[in-house]
A and B are shown apart, each in its own frame.
Chain A
Amino acid sequence: MKYDCIVIGGGVVGAAVLDRLAAYNLKVLLLEKEDDVASFTTRANSGIVHAGYDCEPGTLKARFNVRGNELIWRDARELNVPHLKCGSIVVARKEQLEKLRELQDRAVVNGVETRILDRDQTLKIEPNVADEIEYSLYAPSAGIVSPYQLAIAYADRAILKGGEILLEAEVKAVSRKNGTYFVETSKGVFESAIVVNCAGAYGARVNDMAGAEHFETVYRRGDYFVLDNTERKNVNTVIFPLPTAAGKGILVAPTADGNVIYGPTAVDSANPDDTATTPDSLDVLRKNVPLSYKRPAFNKCIRVYGGLRTLIGHDFVVGESKVLDNFFMAIGICSPGLTSAPAIAEYIEALIVERTKATVKQSGIVAPPRRKRLAEISEDELDALIAKDSAWGRIVCRCEKVTEAEIVEAIYSPLPATTVDAVKRRTRAGMGRCQGGFCGPKVMEIIARELGIPLDQVRKGGGATIARYAVKEVE
Chain B
Amino acid sequence: MRNMDFDVAVIGGGPAGMAAALAARKQGATVVILERDSRLGGILNQCIHQGFGLHYFGEEMTGPEYADRFRKMVEKEDIAVMLESMALALGEDKTVTALSPSLGLCKIKARSVVLAMGCRERTAGAIALAGSRPAGIYTAGMAQKICNIDGYLVGKDVVILGSGDIGLIMARRMTTEGANVKLVLELAPYSSGLKRNIVQCLDDYGIPLKYSHTVTRVEGYPRLTGLYYAPVGEDKKPILSEERFISCDTLLLSVGLIPENDLLNGLGVNISPVTQGAVVDENRMTSMEGVFSCGNVLHVHDLVDNVSQEAEIAGAAAARYALDGGVCKGDFVNVVARDGVRYALPQRISRGEGKLRLFFRVGDVYKNCRLIVQSGENTLVSKKFMVLAPGEMGSADIDISLVDGDVVVRLEK
Contact = CB atoms under 8 A, between A and B. Distances in A.
Given A305-B133, A433-B120, A394 B101 contact: yes
A275 interface: yes
B148 A434 contact: no
Interface stretch (B213-221, B331-339, B373-381): B213-221
B71 interface: no
Interface string A384-427: 00110011111100110101100000000000000000000000
A201 B130 CA distance: 22
Q: Max chain A CB contacts within 10 Å: which of B101, B123, B262? A: B101
Contact of B150 (A226, A279, A441): A441
Contact of B154 (A230, A387, A436, A467): A467
A85 B139 CA distance: 37
B56 to A, nearest CB: 22
B241 interface: no
Contacts of B1: 379-380, 383
Contacts of B153: 467-471
SS of A interface (majority): mixed
B130 A462 contact: no
Nearest to A405: B101
A89 B177 CA distance: 56
Contact of A437 (B120, B129, B178): B120
Interface string B107-135: 00000000000001101111011111111
A441 B125 contact: no
Interface stretch (A72-80, A99-107, A170-178, A295-303): A295-303
Interface stretch (A192-200, A333-341, A357-365, A453-461): A453-461
Q: Give the interface centre of B123, B128, B240, B265 by most chain A CB atoms within 10 Å.
A: B128
A401 B86 CA distance: 10
A141 interface: no
Given A279-B130, A301-B125, A386 B148 contact: no
Contacts of A380: 1
B157 to A, nearest CB: 11
- The winner among A301, A391, A435 for most chain B CB atoms within 10 A is A435
Contacts of A386: 101, 104-105
Contact of A471 (B120, B152, B222): B152
B146 A467 contact: yes
Contact of A394 (B84, B105, B123, B142): B84
Given A276-B131, A435-B123, A398 B146 contact: no
Given A226-B125, A304-B130, A383-B104, A469 B142 contact: no
B65 to A, nearest CB: 11
Interface in B66-95: 84, 86, 88
Nearest to B88: A401
Interface residues of B, number: 56
B126 A379 contact: no
A114 B177 CA distance: 63
Nearest to B243: A279
A393 B128 contact: no
Contact of B131 (A277, A393, A398): A277
A307 to B, nearest CB: 11
- Scoring B86, B104, B155 by chain A CB atoms within 10 A of each residue's CB, the highest score goes to B104
B123 A437 contact: yes
**Max chain B CB contacts within 10 Å: which of A392, A401, A434?**
A434
B184 to A, nearest CB: 19
Contact of B152 (A226, A391, A392, A468): A468
B34 to A, nearest CB: 12
Interface in B129-163: 129-136, 138-139, 141-142, 145-156
Given A433-B120, A467-B152, A382 B104 contact: yes
A282 B130 contact: yes
Contact of A468 (B48, B99, B121, B155): B155
A397 B177 CA distance: 29
Contacts of A230: 265
Contact of B104 (A226, A387, A399, A475): A387
Contacts of B138: 437, 440, 466
Given A393-B102, A395-B99, A475-B48, A464 B134 contact: yes
Contact of A393 (B99, B132, B262): B99
A54 B119 CA distance: 46
Contacts of A467: 146, 150, 152-154
Contacts of B125: 226, 301-304, 435
Nearest to B1: A379
A472 interface: yes
A465 interface: yes
A282 B101 contact: no
B132 A275 contact: yes
A434 B152 contact: no
B100 interface: yes
Contacts of B147: 471
Contact of B151 (A379, A459, A470): A470
B384 interface: no
Interface string B320-355: 000000000000000000000000000000000000
B120 A434 contact: yes
B219 A276 contact: yes
A278 interface: yes
Most chain B C-beta atoms within 10 Å of own C-beta, residue among A281, A302, A433, A459: A433
A463 interface: yes
Contacts of A379: 1, 105
A390 B101 contact: yes
A436 B142 contact: yes
A445 B238 CA distance: 38
Nearest to A469: B153
Nearest to A404: B101
Contact of B121 (A394, A395, A434, A465): A434
Contacts of A278: 130-131, 217
B36 interface: yes
Contacts of A219: none
A347 interface: no
B128 A301 contact: yes
A225 interface: yes
B223 interface: yes
B217 A279 contact: yes
Given A441-B142, A462-B134, A398 B152 contact: no
Nearest to A465: B135
Nearest to A431: B125
Interface string B39-74: 000000000100000000000000000000000000
B151 A471 contact: yes
A466 B151 contact: no
Given A301-B128, A382-B105, A475-B148, 7 more contacts: A380-B1, A387-B104, A393-B84, A434-B123, A468-B154, A470-B152, A475-B48
10 contacts: A226-B125, A275-B133, A277-B130, A277-B131, A301-B125, A437-B138, A437-B141, A464-B134, A471-B152, A474-B148
